[in-house]
Amino acid sequence: MKQIIVEKNPAQARLDTLGVTKWETWEKEVSVFPWDFPEQEIAYILAGECVITPTGGTPVSFGKGDLVTFPAGLSGSWEVKQALHKHYKLDGNALTQAYVRVKLAIKKALKL
């Protein structure tokens, strides 16, 4: 089972080294939805409270001030308990990300 890593209130020096403030941002209202992580994602939570339950796994909670690493290949269900606002960074570049996502879509289509 691929592990979600939650770093509670990481040091500012760690965030600076990662360049978190230069990452894209994303927001989501209170909701529940399925999600796949074709590539590794690292997210710094600016606001909100969430629980993600990996398929076949144990729920993981995180919220404002946490640095969360979602491993490549993880699938699960998100529960956004308080509106989410995060910085995030995906592994790879646009080309490799597109390739991995198309490959995942084909794999899912073949299972239907």
The domain that holds 64 is classified in CATH as 2.60.120.10
For residues 3 and 57, is the Cβ–Cβ distance under 8 A? no
Band (96; pLDDT cuts 50, 70, 90): low
Q: Which domain holds residue 29?
A: 5-111
In angstroms, rounded to a whole number, what is the distance separating the alpha carbons of residues 99 and 50?
29
Q: pLDDT digits over 16-58, tens only?
A: 999 999 999 999 999 999 999 989 999 999 999 999 999 999 9
State mean pLDDT over 11-15: 97
In angstroms, rounded to a whole number, what is the distance separating the alpha carbons of residues 68 and 100?
21
pLDDT for the residue numbered 74:
93
User: Domain total for the chain?
Assistant: 1
Which of these, 104, 110, 106, lies nearest to 34 by C-alpha position?
104
pLDDT for the residue numbered 21:
96
Residue 85 or residue 91, greater confidence: 85
